[in-house]
A = this chain, B = another copy of it.
Amino acid sequence: MAHPSVPVVPALKDELDIVIPTIRNLDFLEQWRPFFQPYHLIIVQDGDPTKTIRVPDGFDYELYNRNDVNRILGPKASCISFKDSACRCFGFLISKKKYIFTIDDDCFVAKDPSGKDINALAQHINNLLTPSTPFFFNTLYDPYRDGADFVRGYPFSMREGAPTAISHGLWLNIPDYDAPTQLVKPRERNTRYVDAVMTIPKGTLFPMCGMNLGFNRELIGPAMYFGLMGDGQPIGRYDDMWAGWCAKVICDHLGLGVKTGLPYIWHSKASNPFVNLKKEYKGIYWQEDIIPFFQSVSLPRECTTVQKCYVELSKLVAEKLGHVDPYFQKLSDAMVTWIEAWDELNTPSQAASETKTSPVNTK
């Protein structure tokens, strides 16, 4: 039975999955219940498969642990990270829906300046259903929003915009800082509610955080691979960054838009900066090579699908970043495996083999 405050027909109810990497906090789903209950949840458990995740009554969900990932993907399971929230991308792969919203279990419902609970999911849906403006900057931010428009001097031929592939939401309270900044500014909290949604211009990279993220799976899904992180890998906390760099370059190539700004969630607690530093430290210097690489990447005209772009990108990663560390050859291989797995689970014949992919725990 729906929560009384939930509209009878929530937007995109049958077209959106919520993907959550592990739930360690029982309050998490209770707080989000009014907003999430109408939707289907995909929970991807990142650690020990023998541990049980408790999901409160009333939610429609499927839960995958490592054993499920191994069974469903077979040898291709090697591309899915273990003991790291990067495993969430398995949920993107297994989903059959057009839209994905993914959120971390330490993110709660934030309040807008008037004190009202923010329906983050509704804002993401709105961001994804309205166009982006990657080709020219609009100084009044999102021109499709109520009370705003394109300003004087904005070329009329560009006002149709581009389809929106990604909606990147922000965080009140604990900001998404790297370990060095966490260590230097242990008391900093984000209290500034910036009432804006904007398109990240074509040709500009951004740090994509996976805490509060929506995307159109049909438009950009195969690029939302969260890489090899966590157990057995030399880095962590770069899973969402990797996906963001790859996805942005591909969106730019294919003429798709990426938005950032609203909605805010309430990020409840900072992760341990010492643990984070250990996870991040290689990434911190590797990214000094990775960013110039992505800034200069140019995909050939023949790459007309996300899959083709992604496979091409995997080759360039091996070729141009291989000298940085052998890790990038391994990552390049995993990128190809990911696309093979994506195509296997997302072909027209997938429906026939759906039993094969059904998870252990379905309610």
Give A contacts to B, CB under 8 Å. 113, 136-141, 147-158, 168, 170, 175-178, 180-181, 185, 188-196, 200-209, 237-238, 240-241, 244, 260, 280, 284, 287-288, 291
Contacts and interface: CB of A to CB of B under 8 A. Distances in A.
Chain A interface mostly helix, strand, loop or mixed? loop
A181 B241 contact: no
Given A137-B206, A170-B139, A201-B201, A178 B192 contact: no
A207 B151 contact: yes
B191 A194 contact: no
A236 to B, nearest CB: 12
A139 B288 contact: no
A238 to B, nearest CB: 7
Given A194-B195, A206-B136, A152 B288 contact: no
A338 B324 CA distance: 50
Given A137-B200, A194-B196, A196-B196, A178 B207 contact: no
A152 B188 contact: no
A106 to B, nearest CB: 15
Contacts of A205: 136-137
Nearest 10 CB-CB pairings of A with B: A153-B207, A137-B206, A201-B204, A153-B241, A152-B178, A194-B196, A203-B203, A155-B291, A152-B176, A151-B176
B147 A190 contact: yes
Contacts of A260: 137, 139
Given A137-B200, A195-B193, A288 B147 contact: no
13 contacts: A138-B206, A147-B189, A149-B177, A152-B176, A152-B241, A152-B280, A153-B178, A153-B209, A153-B244, A153-B287, A154-B178, A156-B180, A200-B201
Nearest to A153: B207
